[in-house]
């Protein structure tokens, strides 16, 4: 009987974290689709495509902080914040994390 209660408690206590993480991921995915997918989905102007591990590898080798900085400030042909000035730094970072998770 005690194991059932521990399992239930773990599910209930852990649900908040999982739901929050899922909500954050959904927001990042929505921002990706609205702002970033037009280039990173098709590889426009050399943008690394989401899911292309080989294209992301050298970028990630420079460190995630560099990738964040490039996404926030713009890099080569990519405009700052992917062209969406309404995105906050944390939102840009979340989108980067979303794309990297799909690409590494």
Distance CA 80, CA 22 (A): 26
Distance CA 42, CA 46 (A): 9
pLDDT, tens digit, for every residue of 43-71? 999 999 999 999 999 999 999 999 999 99
pLDDT band at 17 (very low <50, low <70, confident <90, very high): very low
pTM for the model? 0.79
Distance CA 50, CA 39 (A): 10
Q: What is the mean pLDDT of residues 23-34?
A: 93
């Amino acid at each position: 009987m005690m194991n059932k209660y521990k399992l239930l408690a773990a599910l209930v206590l852990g649900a908040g974290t999982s739901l929050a993480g899922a909500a954050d991921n959904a927001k990042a995915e929505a921002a990706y689709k609205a702002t970033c997918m037009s280039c990173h989905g098709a590889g426009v102007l050399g943008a690394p495509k989401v899911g292309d591990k080989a294209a992301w590898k050298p970028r990630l080798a420079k460190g995630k902080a560099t990738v964040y900085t490039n996404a926030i400030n713009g890099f080569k042909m990519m405009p700052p914040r992917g062209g969406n000035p309404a995105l906050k730094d944390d939102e840009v970072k979340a989108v980067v994390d979303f794309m990297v998770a799909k690409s590494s």
